[in-house]
Structure 1
């Protein structure tokens, strides 16, 4: 196995380090020379790489607002929300959750989301309703959507700023987030950017060696959408390998306290409303585009006999069994990721493990809403910032987005596309994500292929893990289960003289 490329203090240039971008650069003369000073790095220049990235995020979010503009008045006649691809839960739930009538979330109406998202909805929805009572001529739905779009856009820009802060030597990695069509079409479909921002700030706090603050933010994120709490799993196995359990316990304890502090008031005062989210997830059937949906479709094609049910159709009719199987497969996948972490030749980077865990949850979940892809977008930037594999995944996601709206139109009784076309789009989304996971696993097992390690001596997101030696039993474990394991070099096990900077 070849030795990893030494880390360097020089800012990464994608045209030199990324094969896909290097190929595109041939159209303008090829990558910048090794000894050239890029214009953006010269002092006195206003348009630094970081400012360009933030400006690009703002442009993408502005385009997203325009893309959703046909739906902002709430006059959804002739399925305009589907024909214009502009449907958004934000506007639909303003009316469905009773916010337009001044109902307080959980107290006056059960909400189908975790409590921090419900608080967020109420914090913006109730003032809009009060304004509508005072000025009846305004369109409350439009005002509510625009208020949410503004705040969610600020959170998206803040998430991009965190990506830049975590990758100071690789600022152009954040362009994957800033220019993504995924961000353009799904930014305001739901309130997922709230949880994403909390999770990203939690990762940043961990990288800054602030486990208490990291736990607080991850706990709040988990109270907005459950997935930020999944980050605690990778933190545990990395803490186990690096013998840094105290920091992990601080973060976990604070996360639990934050989650309880936000949930207990609603759970005690309005237990029926609070449990609505869990009841819906427990009883919800197979959702569009999931692994189980694809399997059920194939069951229908292969089993044509009367009363002949395939395994996926049986699971569709037995939701408790489907729930248990989905949970079991997710747990098994996470256990496999944990074993990979312990047996890898070098301690994996935190972002790599988090990406794999969240991806595993989506792959085996019975619900995979269109906006859930946003969870993966900043994580893939941190885990594997290579355009060549991310572009096919993005194309597959946008293809699924278009096919999903065609399927929604067809649900009215007149098919728009064949069911097989939608299943194909769903399969491509699943396959490209699995390919991304495989590539991340490959780079964990062969760390010399990881471009982030070419720039940083250790994990820039690792916090207290950065520079920490492995536990004594890791070498024994690898020798037991792996024939002729590669012995880590002294520089990989020896902590640096000073803490590794976040950037």
Structure 2
């Protein structure tokens, strides 16, 4: 007889149940919540419930982020103030660089370097700001107004992302605090327009959980029209479709995503084709970017090469041959995806959707030739859903913030004023890569050993499976046995929490 998870929808308390790091940290305030203590959700009429507190904390961090960016709002970036005060933002810089300050319509009058939803958004806010600033004779700082309008709407997308995390983890609301309190959110929330894609992709995931695959695909398609990475989530959905033997929901989501992406892109593609191609050409032609795997490799090549002065290591050679670099980058990402599919098909239980989604996006960043500072935001909500354990996430966060500081020091150095040695920046870049790789390893470990997965301990199954909830098809078990795996696949819902939380009403 299979054990079932406890029928208890009340919130998990990390100090009392699954998170060893939080449980250890709670010793500073008296220790973990006891089995006879009044739980935080015990009073039904209390206003400050866990979800409301998480949303309030998200708003607080975003407000502090606005304050942190305030030294740059005037646009008068003298003496590298945008780097020394860590307040640089593409939003303000590109208001002028993309011609919005002159009333240029994105794609029509100026070739924007971003996908179309981002370009539409820039124009929808930038053109009214320019019109008001030039026709009403108000003397307003147009760049500051443009940044503030963008920051407000991007912050709303960030709050919506936090709300989605809460909706997807009703029994584990405190997991969303990893997102709400993250220093990553504080320093990068409005560096660029990434929260457009993040918010749309998060809504798409929630719709999938609510068993609306076509609508989920539409929002993933909209997110991909802002930044391409939400399309990667279709890969994990395919793995789950194969294990469940239910391909049609995946087809619905994929058709919804592709048609949405095509419809949104069509006007610019048809009438302003050269402008539409700008994004793709730029990404094809871009050299090795700061802090990437390829950047670190090029530095090590320069330090470790032997032989004549003309010898160049493989990373140095690829840096000078961009087409071959593109092939190498895509090939490694493709290989990582194949390995991920094999793991997903052979794991004892179907991996959770969030685990696979985190891994595919992380693999893309690890092997990409471009890793802008704000791309870390792509991973933040996904790691909350995939592996909500504070210890490893905090180690990764420290590495990311260290890279953030080193990157700005490197930018100052690029202007002729040395701040840190190049080796220090490479070390910070390497630590960022290593911590992301460690997170990937931990997630893969929990895919292969699902009894270690704290989300499964709470739910007993994948809470994000949506229409893919249910048992595997027979060929999965047969394939595992044929390949010599002694442990048979575990039917969905057959894993009870190893240590189910004790709940005592008082």
Other-structure match for 1:292: 294
Counterparts of 1:83 and 1:226, CA distance in 2: 31
Aligned with 2:478 (options 468, 476, 484):
476
1:458: how far off? 1.6
Q: After superposition, give the CA deviation of every residue in 1:261-317 in whole Å (9 maximum; x if it has no partner).
A: 010110010000000000000000000000000000001111263111000000000
Other-structure match for 1:64: 65
Q: Would the aligned equivalents of 1:349 and 1:459 in 2 still touch at CA under 8 Å?
A: yes
Other-structure match for 2:426: 423
Say if 1:104 and 1:477 are closer, same or farther in 2 by CA, change over 3 A. same
Aligned with 1:347 (options 347, 350, 355):
350
Other-structure match for 1:436: 439
Q: Would the aligned equivalents of 2:476 and 2:489 in 1 still touch at CA under 8 Å?
A: no
Q: Would the aligned equivalents of 1:346 and 1:492 in 2 still touch at CA under 8 Å?
A: no
Q: After superposition, give the CA deviation of every residue in 1:358-386 in whole Å (9 maximum; x if it has no partner).
A: 00000000000000000000000000000
1:482: how far off? 3.3
Q: Would the aligned equivalents of 2:358 and 2:386 in 1 still touch at CA under 8 Å?
A: yes
Q: Would the aligned equivalents of 2:234 and 2:254 in 1 still touch at CA under 8 Å?
A: yes
TM-score for the superposition, normalised by structure 2: 0.95
Other-structure match for 2:498: none
Say if 1:41 and 1:244 are closer, same or farther in 2 by CA, change over 3 A. farther
Q: After superposition, give the CA deviation of every residue in 1:326-356 in whole Å (9 maximum; x if it has no partner).
A: 0000011011111111000001100000000
Q: Would the aligned equivalents of 1:7 and 1:454 in 2 still touch at CA under 8 Å?
A: no
Other-structure match for 1:145: 147
Aligned with 1:453 (options 453, 456, 461):
456
Counterparts of 2:493 and 2:132, CA distance in 1: 62
Counterparts of 2:189 and 2:345, CA distance in 1: 36
- The secondary structure found in structure 1 opposite 2:175 is helix
Say if 1:53 and 1:238 are closer, same or farther in 2 by CA, change over 3 A. same
Q: Would the aligned equivalents of 2:472 and 2:491 in 1 still touch at CA under 8 Å?
A: no
Aligned with 1:382 (options 382, 385, 388):
385
Q: Would the aligned equivalents of 1:196 and 1:221 in 2 still touch at CA under 8 Å?
A: yes
How many residue pairs get matched?
Answer: 490
- The secondary structure found in structure 1 opposite 2:237 is helix
Correspondence list, 1:196-211, <5 A:
196-211=198-213
Counterparts of 2:183 and 2:273, CA distance in 1: 40
1:414: how far off? 1.9
1:28: how far off? 1.5
Say if 1:41 and 1:276 are closer, same or farther in 2 by CA, change over 3 A. farther
Other-structure match for 1:245: 247
Other-structure match for 2:503: none
Q: Which stretch shows the higher mean deviation, 297-306 or 239-248?
A: 297-306
- The secondary structure found in structure 1 opposite 2:15 is helix
Counterparts of 2:4 and 2:421, CA distance in 1: 49
Correspondence list, 1:163-182, <5 A:
163-182=165-184
Other-structure match for 1:256: 258
Counterparts of 2:407 and 2:4, CA distance in 1: 43
Other-structure match for 2:214: 212
Say if 1:74 and 1:267 are closer, same or farther in 2 by CA, change over 3 A. same
Counterparts of 1:237 and 1:489, CA distance in 2: 16
Q: Please say if 1:34 is aligned against 2:35.
A: yes
TM-score for the superposition, normalised by structure 1: 0.96
1:36: how far off? 2.7
Counterparts of 1:193 and 1:450, CA distance in 2: 28
Other-structure match for 1:496: none
Q: Would the aligned equivalents of 1:8 and 1:454 in 2 still touch at CA under 8 Å?
A: no
Counterparts of 1:398 and 1:460, CA distance in 2: 31
Q: Would the aligned equivalents of 2:12 and 2:172 in 1 still touch at CA under 8 Å?
A: yes
Q: Please say if 1:51 is aligned against 2:52.
A: yes
Q: Would the aligned equivalents of 2:154 and 2:193 in 1 still touch at CA under 8 Å?
A: yes
1:5: how far off? 8.8
Correspondence list, 1:409-420, <5 A:
409-420=412-423
Correspondence list, 1:65-214, <5 A:
65-133=66-134, 134-214=136-216
Q: Which stretch shows the higher mean deviation, 471-480 or 382-391?
A: 471-480
| CA RMSD, 1 decimal | 1.4
Counterparts of 2:316 and 2:88, CA distance in 1: 29
Other-structure match for 1:312: 315
Could you tell me which runs of 5 or more consecutive residues in structure 1 were left unpaired when the two chains were aligned: 494-503
1:218: how far off? 0.2
Other-structure match for 1:23: 24
Say if 1:147 and 1:263 are closer, same or farther in 2 by CA, change over 3 A. same
1:35: how far off? 3.5
Other-structure match for 1:330: 333
Other-structure match for 2:368: 365
Could you tell me which runs of 5 or more consecutive residues in structure 2 were left unpaired when the two chains were aligned: 496-506
Other-structure match for 1:402: 405
